[in-house]
Amino acid sequence: MMHNDTPLTRALTQQEAKVQATPLDALKLARKHWLEHSRLNMGSLAEELGVNRATLFRWVGNKDLLLGEVLWSFYRVLFDQIIEDAEGDGGEYLAWACEQVVVRIMENEPLQRFIRQDTEYAIRILTSKSSIIQGRSIEVIRGLLQSEADAGRWRSPIPLAELAYLIVRVGESFLYGDIISGHDTAMPHARTAFRLLLGAQQPAP
């Protein structure tokens, strides 16, 4: 007797139940929802994925963690593009890269819309130590600093971990200072601030 009743044959004859969604499907759909609405509705996500809310929360932890992963997926692309676009090396290259992070986040309309719609919540997700955004941003910046230091093109004035943290916090000040403290930091000063932190040579006036 031939055993030809395989999953493939059942799928081809539409006898197999719909394939279940996965946690990665949840992230993909959440990205789509966030781009369209700048917010996430866990009930709507679960319904569209074909799973119950308990399953969705088991996959992603909670709404804040899922939103953090959604935002980080866009941040990661942004960081990679900046590194790819960069020219030069040493402190000036690092200062340019850090400045570009700030500039491109400022120019990201979905992110700015998210901040406008729910400012307090957005700032908590983007800058809180309990969110993944700040921690992962620090790690990416630290890796960038490490690569220049290892290549002998730049020497850090302070331990790399501390410097990476300071760079991220300074970047947050330029991005969200008017919201966090009421102090509107002038964007043209961003590269100067990063040069000072990185010990890069200042251009002649």
DSSP per-residue codes, 102-152: HHHHHT-HHHHHHHHHSHHHHHHHHH-TTSHHHHHHHHHHHHHHHHHHHTT
Question: Can you tell me the distance from the alpha carbon of 62 to that of 126, in angstroms, rounded to the nearest whole number?
Answer: 16
pLDDT band at 18 (very low <50, low <70, confident <90, very high): low
Check whether 15 has a pLDDT greater than 60: no
Token pair listed for 126: 């983007």
Axis crossing angle, helix 160-180 with helix 132-150, rounded to the nearest 10: 140
Q: Residue 185: is its pLDDT beyond 70?
A: no
Q: Which of 8-17, 104-113, 116-125 has the lowest mean pLDDT?
A: 8-17
- The answer on pLDDT for 202 being more than 60 is no
User: Rounded mean pLDDT of 21-31?
Assistant: 95
CA pair distance 127, 156, nearest whole angstrom: 24
Q: Output 4 or 204, whichever has higher pLDDT.
A: 4
- Point out the least confidently predicted range of 58-72, 121-135, 183-197: 183-197
Mean pLDDT for the chain overall: 88
pLDDT tens-digit readout, 60-101: 999 999 999 999 999 999 999 998 898 888 999 999 999 999
Tell me the pLDDT band of 204, cut-offs 50, 70 and 90: very low
For residue 20, the model assigns a pLDDT of 82
The pLDDT of residue 182 is 64
Whole-number Cα distances in Å, 74 to 31, 67, 79, 101, 178 = 9, 11, 9, 12, 23
Share above pLDDT 90 across residues of the chain, in percent, rounded to a whole number: 69
Q: What is the pLDDT of residue 11?
A: 62
Q: Looking at 10-24, 56-70, 72-86, 190-204, which range is the least confident one?
A: 10-24
Tokens of 177: 């200072």
Closest CA to 180 of 188, 170, 190: 170
What is residue 131's predicted lDDT score, i.e. its pLDDT?
84
User: What's the pLDDT band for 205 if we cut at 50, 70, 90?
Assistant: very low
